[in-house]
Structure 1
Amino acid sequence: MTDVKPAKDASSSAKSLNSMVLVNKPLKPQIVYIGELKTPVIVIDDFTADLSELQACASQIDFNLDMGSYYPGVRAKLPKDYVIEVLNHVFQLIYDVYKVPINLRIKPQTTYFSLINRQPESLTTLQRIPHFDTPAPYYFAILQYLNDQPHGATAFFKHKPSGYERITKDNMQQYFNAAEPYLQQIAPEPAKYFVESNEYYQQHHQIEYKQHRLVIYPGNLLHSTLVDPNTDIDSSPETGRLTANIFINIE
C-alpha cells in the first residue's frame, strides 16, 4: 500500500465479548489515500486476535441469496455482539478521519456474513462492472476478512470517460449516462467478473484479502472484488471468501 499515514491508536489490552470476537488493542490503523481525490481508506491489520467463534457461527447458520442488492453470492446475519464490538472500537476513528459532523449519529443499515458463489456466466450486466453502494456522503462499508486462505482483493476504480471515482447525488446521473454505453457493449458478450482495468474503468488501488484485516471506506467509491474463480466462488464458510460486512449511514 502507498500513501500511508499512521492514525490514532485506540486504548489498550485485548478484550472479548461473549467469546464472539477478541479485538487486539491498541488498534494500529493506517490511513491509505487512494486515487486522484486522495480519499482516505482505513486499514487495520490484526484487528482481531481470535476469529474462531465468529467462524464457527458462520458455519452453523443458513446463508441465503441477498435479494436487496447485486451482491453475487449468499449472505447471513452477523451476530449483534460482533457488530456492537466493532462499532464501539472504530466509530471515533471514522468521525475523525472523515471529518463527520459531531451532531450526526451512526445508523447501522445492514450487517452480513458474505460468500461469493455465483459463476461468471450467470452474472447480470450490472454485476460485471465496478459499483458503488450509495451516493450518501457519510455512508461507510466496514469490511473484515475472516478466512486464512488466499482470496481476491478489494479494488477501487475511476470511471475513465467521466473521471469519477466517487458517485455523489450531484454527479450520479452524469455517471449513469456515461456508463450506459459500456453496459450496452458488454451485454451480449460472455459474462465474467471485472478484475482488470480497461478503457472504461481504471483500477487505482487494491487492498489484499488478509485474515483479521478490517477495512473501512466510503460507500460512494467505485469498487469491486477481484474475484478469482479458482478460490473465491465457494459457498462454504470454511473455505470460501468469507467476509463480515457492516454498512452504516451517519446522518
Structure 2
Amino acid sequence: MFDSAAPVLNASLRAKCTAVGRELTPVMVIDDCLADPGSLVEFAALTKRNVEHQIETLHPVFKKESGSFYPGRRCPLPESFGLVLLQQLAPLLCNGFARGRDVQFEPLVANLSLADVKREHLRPIQSLPHFDDVRSDQLALVLYLFNGDLGGTGFYRHISTGFERITRPRLAEYAPKLKAEAMAHREILGRYMGRENALFAPTNYVEPAFNRAVIYPSNCLHSGVLNNAVDYSLCANGGRLTANMLILCNEV
C-alpha cells in the first residue's frame, strides 16, 4: 500500500535536464519517477468505482481553491510527502538547478490536482500561460498520474516583450501589456492554451506520460496544454490527475 507521507523514488528512474528557449531556462524531465505511482492514484480516490451507479468518487478534501487560477480541484498531500520526496530528489535538483551552489530544498506546497473545468467556463487568465511566482529561487514540480492524451506542459515566450521568465522588475511591463493584448485578441480566450497563439511562442513542450515528472523554475511562463476536444470530468482514475509541488531553494 502506498504511504502518501513517505514516497519512494524508482531506482531505475531516468532524468534529463534541458536548457529551454533564449533565456536557457533549465527544465528537468524524470521518467518512471516514483516506485509505486499507481497507489498515489488510489490515495486520491475515496472509493473505487461504484459498480451499481458507474461513477467514481474522490477523496473528500478535493476542492476548489479560493484565489487560485487552477482550472480544477486540489487535495493537499501530507507535509511529510514533500520533505521525504525532496530528500531523495536533492542530488538531481542540485545538478540541474543549483549550478554549483550549496542549496537545500524546502517544500512550500504539495497537492494532488484534478482538472475539471470545461473550456467554455474558463476565466480569461486560464486560457493563457502563467507563472507561479516572480521569485528566482523557487521551482515547480508536476507529476503526471494519468494515461492518454489529456495534455502535457508547454513553455512559452511572450512575443511582444520577449520575456520567458517573469521577475519582479519585468512584471510592471508585462502585466499591463498582456492585459491589453488579451482584450484585443479575445478569440484566443475561452479555450485551453495550445502549443502557441497570437501572443505567445513556444519554447518547449513536455508530452504527458504516466509517472513522468517535470521540474522548472516557477517564474517561467508555462501552461498545461489541455486537450480542447476533451470534456474533463471529475474522476480520479480517468481524469487529468497530477501531483504538484512548489519548492524553495535555500542557499546555505
Alignment-derived partner of residue 74 in structure 1? 73
Give me the whole-angstrom Cα distance separating, in 2, the residues matched to 1:86 and 1:58.
18
Q: Is the 8 Å Cα contact of residues 20 and 54 (structure 1) preserved in structure 2?
A: no
Counterpart in the other structure of 2:33: 47
For residue 30 of structure 1, the aligned residue among 6, 16, 19 is 16
Contact in 2 for aligned 1:116/1:232 (Cα 8 Å): no
Q: Distance in 1 between matches of 2:113 and 2:121?
A: 18
State the secondary structure of the residue aligned to 2:131.
coil
CA RMSD, 1 decimal: 2.3
- Matching residue's letter, 2:245: I
Distance 1:153 1:18, change over 3 A: closer
1:29-73 deviation per Cα after TM superposition (whole angstroms, max 9, x unaligned): 101221112211111111123223211110121210021321011
**Deviation, structure 1 residue 148:** 2.5
Give the SS at the match of 1:48. Answer: coil
Q: Given that residues 129 and 194 in structure 1 are in contact (C-alpha distance below 8 angstroms), is that contact kept between their aligned partners in structure 2?
A: yes
TM-score (norm 1): 0.85
Instruction: Give how far 1:22 is off.
Output: 4.3
Equivalent in the alignment of 1:13:
none
Aligned AA (1:228): N
**Could you tell me whether the CA contact under 8 Å between 1:232 and 1:241 is conserved in 2?**
no
CA contact (8 A) 1:19 1:53 kept: no
Give TM-score, length-normalised by structure 2.
Answer: 0.84
Distance in 1, Cα, partners of 2:146 & 2:185: 33
AA at the equivalent of 2:224: T
Matched-pair contact (CA < 8 Å) for 2:86–2:106? no
1:28 CA displacement: 2.5
- Matched residue count: 235
Q: Which runs of 5+ in 2 are unaligned?
A: 47-58
1:36 is paired with a residue whose SS is coil
1:219-230 to 2 correspondence within 5 Å?
219-230=218-229
CA distance in 1, matches of 2:74, 2:161: 33
Measure the CA separation in 1 of the matches of 2:29 and 2:74: 23
Q: Check whether the contact 1:72–1:127 (CA below 8 A) recurs between aligned residues.
A: yes
Structure-2 separation of matches of 1:90 and 1:232: 34
8 Å Cα contact 1:22/1:51 also seen in 2: no
1:185-215: per-residue Cα shift (whole Å, max 9, x none)?
2458862222142231011210011011111
Q: Alignment partner of 2:90: what SS?
A: helix
